[in-house]
Structure 1
Amino acid sequence: MNIVLVVDDEAEIRDVIHIYLRNEGFQVLEAEDGVQALEIVNSTSIQLIILDVMMPNLDGIKTCMKIRETSMVPIIMLSAKGEDIDKITGLTTGADDYLTKPFNPLELIARVKAQLRRQHFTPRETDRSVFTLHDLVFDKHKHFVSVSGKEVSLTPREFSILELLTDYPGQVFSADKIYETIWDEPSGYSENTVMVHIRNLRDKIEENPREPRYIKTVWGVGYKIDK
């Protein structure tokens, strides 16, 4: 059974999320701030975290950053703030998705399921399981990425984006197409969201992210990886 950790300082919101998750067959743990959340993450095998941004003691942004130091567990962030800058900030810290309060609980459940499906995706039927380019090695079956012989740790979303691009070398994917494919939903904040993930990927795999060797930008169109 998948265990979901709900982290929010508002008991009413935790209760609502708990009920909906439990009705879908999930086991639910709760924390009222980041400190409690880290204690649970360090002692329990969690499959997904729903993390509020604005909390006392240790807020969601700092909590997400701490979790990412040791774990790639999917994280969906919640916030009452709806501006693009807040979404970008949350995603830059390593979150996999972002939902603005007030939210529809059914939409949250759909996003939880999408994240968990993505964690156990079936690889596409292609002739190549290992993609190499210059110093980059991408092995989707072993879920392994290295650059110049050093393993690179990617978030699930970053890995999925890189998988999409390496499965179709030379093909240009628009931000909307990447978003619809990886996030499994219609494009909304697709341009900023994809841009942040591409930037994070480049920071991890490129020697000089400003002059990328791997993930190329086709201005006005999208992104690609050449072979």
Structure 2
Amino acid sequence: MSLLDIDYERVLLVKPEVFVYRIPPRTSNRGYRASEWKLDAPDWSGRLRILAKGEKLIIKLEDKNSGELFAACPVDAYPSSAVESVTDSARYFVITIKDESGRTAFIGIGFVDRSDSFDFNVALQDHFRYLKKDEELAKQPSLDTEKKLDLSFKEGQTIKINIGKKSETSSGSVPRPKPSGSGMPILLPPPPGSKSTRTPNTQTQQTTSKPNASSNLLDFD
């Protein structure tokens, strides 16, 4: 099934612990540096989930106990300005969050383990790689639109079939072979039967709660 045809929300990644940092505004075109953040004093910590529905993808930061939404980051492409890696570490990123009114803000996020940041990166890359592949397949002509082999007769075209006469030998009677032995026909056993069972596949759908308002520490534009 194509990603474009999926109409339910899928959970691509769950990380039970992520840290959020208030970051200084960017003053030049150079990339963000995590060393300029207060890494020893994060402003918030909680759970991170990456969710996808069709081609849409969203990163949600939630309270690890109640599941209450802290911030959400819609991602339309990756890499993009929605999610940027910092220049001095593989464990920190800058994401663009949006509230329900459409206002945006930039915050830093970080993981304790490098493997968590690797999983975060891969989940984003895989989604958009599969999406690109689906779009390319959709552009290819289907088998129905391809030119089919024309086996119909053209105008004035005929076909001639010669049916030969039966030979004298074929029309005569053929003597039947005499049964041998006891005269009982030999019956072959039937082929062995096979039974197979199929186990239906089940598909677990996971849904998420409706986003709530973000925390007051976020500076939305």
Q: Which has the higher contact order (CA 8 A, sep 6+)?
A: 2
Q: Same fold (TM over 0.5)?
A: no
TM-score normalized by the length of structure 1: 0.22
Question: Comparing both structures, which one devotes a greater share of its residues to strand?
Answer: 2
- Structure having the higher Rg: 2
Q: What TM-score comes out, normalization by structure 2 length? A: 0.23
> Which protein is richer in helix relative to its size?
1
